[in-house]
Amino acid sequence: MAEGVAQAASVAQSVLGFKGNRALAKQARQLGEFQAKVEENNLVLTQRARAQQEASVRASAERLRGIQRTATAKSGVQMSGSPLQAMADTYFSTERDAQRVQYAASVEAARSAGAAAMRRLEGESRAAGANIAALQSLLGGASDLASVQQNQRLYDLQVSSYERDLGSAKNTPL
């Protein structure tokens, strides 16, 4: 009876450990995917913010060019020389600022994409670890079951040997 209880407990423990670790693996995978989605959403938000920032830079430059044109026209000077150079400087400065914003956006995009990939890998790695633990639980349970069975066989052999020795001792005259 005790042998059956020990075997059942060993099997139950290994099955529950297996199922628990498999659930942990699933959760780890899902968490990694969730964190990757958060990073991807951050990427979209960053891209929108950078596009808005670039549009703002260009709009500010356009206002500045308008002010420069108006000031030049008001003064009655033709667009050449210094006023033209000022307009060119404004244009090139705007383009340089816009390129900086675009570069920063591409750096953020690469960082976010890398972070999302890393989150997925971390989730998969944790899931793999939990799957290995699940298999270890099954193997441990099988090992425990084999050990219980082996111990029971040894006990049975000892009992039968003891009974045989007792039986032969009863038949032997003193």
Check residue 81 and give left, alpha or beta (phi > 0: left; psi -120 to 50: alpha).
left
Going from the C-alpha of 13 to that of each of 4, 9, 107, 150, the distances in angstroms are: 14, 6, 50, 19
Q: Which two tokens stand for residue 160?
A: 């039968």
What does the pLDDT look like over 24-51, one tens digit per residue? Answer: 888 988 998 999 999 899 889 988 988 8
Backbone angles phi, psi at 173, to 5 degrees: -75, 150
Count of C-beta atoms within a 10 Å radius of residue 70: 10
Cβ neighbours for 121, distance < 8 A, ≥ 6 positions apart: 32
Rounded Cα distance, 71 and 67, in Å:
6
Amino acid identity of 156?
Answer: D
Q: Model confidence at 78, in pLDDT bands (50, 70, 90)? A: low
Give tens-digit pLDDT for 112-146. Answer: 889 999 999 998 998 999 889 888 888 888 888 88
77 φψ region: left (φ > 0), alpha (ψ -120 to 50), beta (else) = beta
Cα(30)–Cα(18) distance, rounded to whole angstroms? 18
Q: CA 139, CA 14: separation in Å to the nearest integer?
A: 8
pLDDT band at 70 (very low <50, low <70, confident <90, very high): confident
Q: Beta-carbon neighbour count of residue 53 at 10 Å? A: 17
pLDDT for 10 equals 75
What is residue 79's three-state secondary structure? Answer: coil
pTM score of the predicted model:
0.60
